[in-house]
Amino acid sequence: MAKKYQNYIDGAWSDSASGRTFENRNPANWDEVIGTFPLSNKADVDRAVAAARKAFESWRLVPAPKRGDILKKVGDLLTQKKEEIARLMTREMGKVLLETRGDVQEGIDTAYYAASEGRRLFGHTVPSELPNKFNMAIRVPIGVAAIITPWNFPMAIPTWKIFPALVCGNTVVFKPASDTPATATSLMEILTEAGVPKGVVNLVHGGGTEVGMALVEHPDVDLVSFTGSTSVGKKISELASRTLKRVSLELGGKNAQIVMDDANLDLALEGVLWGAFGTTGQRCTATSRLILHEKVYDRFLSMVVDKAKKLKLGDGLKEDVDVGPCVNEKQLATVEEYVKIGVQEGAVVVAGGKRASGDGLAKGWFHEPTILADVTPSMRVAREEIFGPVLSVIKVKSLEEAIEVANNTQYGLSSSIYTQDINNAYRAIRDIRAGITYVNAPTIGAEAHMPFGGVKETGNGHREGGWTVYDFYTEWKTVYVDYSGQLQRAQIDNAEN
């Protein structure tokens, strides 16, 4: 019997008011059911939002360092349970154990960062223009945050959002992706075990339309933080604007790695393999374009092809496996479709190219690591996000052309350049339009204490991670304290004439 999971609302585990459930299966072996989960509806959302709204009134008054102490405990519990959660995550969404351990570690790093931020949350004091008057600007919590997260980083991404939201004094309704509800449940259990009071974090499982959009439209939700596709992000932005909610969007990417003719090619090779095929290419930061200087095109391409063909596909729980499955049937179909589109457009498949078969692969959503050569910048496979193990390779003549090609997409999340020439590196840093640029490192690998986010249609200007996310989860309150004992009029009483 598959394990039966529940929602967590107002400090209690419960089924959905709908009475309906959905199943979650292992993408490497669809015979294995991870569990059944409530297919929640608007009534569940209403209950969760009401609980969060009520809890906000007391949680906002808990001193931030105390809230931080709870997050410290969360970090400790995540550390204790790292291996157990990593294994569950691999079974649930397929990426290899090395990476699911990294995913949990990102949550641990975020917890400890948030814990210490509870003792900072700096404001400003600024001299007043009037005598005997004190000016300050302080951060205050906003209210109820709806957290809507994807399946590719089932621990890291929820923690990027939930932990800072909590430290800042907000309460949360969390709607995880329906491909990774079990990992989300582990996080919820840890939050309660660490002492987060009832109603402060609520977990509602279910679909994007029924649960996600109900949250976005809810008049009692103040903030929405979403990571996912650009098309859904736009819809959220439109809907949320009706109630003037603050919205943070982390959306698609079409990240490029540039390899110049002076690059250390062995280093660039390791980088592109990790960037393109890590997490089966299912990261918003994945390297999905390789932009090669013509002088190294043939040589480097054959190096990458050779290695890509040797990557071992399979169940991510096996330590010798390099690449896991796509997360579900739909994602696999999208990958197959894009390979077809690439070929129709004139690209040449030089590695992989089809759904994988072979030992241990028959019951999973596996696709071969695929390389498309002779891609030109205008092709769809050079511009659209694929979210799978597909790398499009483009030849260029110069750094200027490489940057122009890198910028030739609606997205702007991550980017990378391999070069030994410091002038090339700094030009790339200046001219690539992306939220993140790596020099001599792949497009993936963001650290928890640095700003994370992108430009153009990758987002709406907010940043997760680091100190920057705390701007999203707080409102500035400006405070003037006049201790002169008389009416003092700014701009008037202190004017020369």
Would you say 143 or 154 has its CB closer to ligand UN1?
A: 154
Q: What single string gives the DSSP state of each residue in 327-360?
A: SSHHHHHHHHHHHHHHHHHT-EEEE--SB--STT
Q: Choose the stretch contacting ligand UN1; rule: CB under 6 A; options: 140-148, 258-266, 283-291, 487-495.
A: 283-291
* The one among 65, 445, 471, 482 contacting ligand UN1 by CB under 6 A: 445
Is residue 250 part of the annotated active site? The answer reads yes
At position 441, the amino acid (one-letter code) is: A
Q: Assess 474 for contact with ligand UN1 (CB under 6 A).
A: no
User: Quick one: 121 or 284, whose CB is closer to ligand UN1?
Assistant: 284
- 112 part of the interface to ligand UN1, by CB under 6 A: no
With contacts defined by CB under 6 A, name the span among 149-157, 175-183, 240-248, 314-322 that binds ligand UN1.
149-157
Binding of ligand UN1 at residue 152 (CB under 6 A)? yes
Of residues 480, 496, 472, 482, the one with CA closest to residue 170? 472
> Counting contacts by CB under 6 A, is residue 110 touching ligand UN1?
no
Q: Which of 92, 284, 457, 464 is catalytic?
A: 284
Choice between 106 and 336, CB closer to ligand UN1: 106
- The answer to whether 376 and 382 are in contact (CB under 8 A) is yes
* 3-state secondary structure at position 155: coil
- In the chain, the amino acid numbered 291 is I
Q: Is 284 a residue of the active site? A: yes
**Residue with Cβ nearer ligand UN1 (181 or 353):** 181
Interface pick for ligand UN1 out of 85, 172, 256, 284 (rule CB under 6 A):
284
Q: Binding of ligand UN1 at residue 153 (CB under 6 A)?
A: yes
Rounded CA separation 115/92 (Å):
29
Q: How far is the CB of 279 from ligand UN1 (least distance, A)?
A: 7
Does the protein bind ligand UN1 through residue 446 (CB under 6 A)?
yes
The alpha carbon of 496 is separated from its chain's Cα centroid by a whole number of angstroms, namely 54
Q: Check binding of 367 to ligand UN1 (CB under 6 A).
A: no
How is residue 129 annotated by DSSP?
Answer: S
- The count of chain residues that interact with ligand UN1, using the rule CB under 6 A, is 11
Residue 452 Cβ vs ligand UN1, minimum distance, rounded to whole Å? 7
Query: Contact at 8 Å (CB) between 129 and 80?
Result: no
**285 makes contact with ligand UN1 (CB under 6 A):** yes
The token duo for 237 is: 């932005």
First to last CA, the chain: 83
- Catalytic residue chosen out of the listed positions 117, 250, 336, 457: 250
> Of residues 283, 293, 367, 463, which one binds ligand UN1 by CB under 6 A?
283
Number of H helices, E strands in the chain: 15, 20
Is the CA virtual torsion 107, 110, 116, 119 positive or negative?
A: negative
* 133-141/474-482 β-pairing: antiparallel
Nearer to ligand UN1, 16 or 248 (CB): 248
- Given a contact cutoff of 8 angstroms between Cβ atoms, the answer to whether 100 and 82 are in contact is no
Helix axes 265-277, 297-310, angle to 10 degrees: 50
Residues 215-254 binding ligand UN1 (CB under 6 A) are: 227
Our CB check for ligand UN1 shows the closer of 75 and 465 to be 465
Given a contact cutoff of 8 angstroms between Cβ atoms, the answer to whether 37 and 21 are in contact is yes
Which residues belong to the active site? 250, 284
Site of interaction with ligand UN1 (CB under 6 A): 106, 152-153, 156, 227, 283-285, 444-446
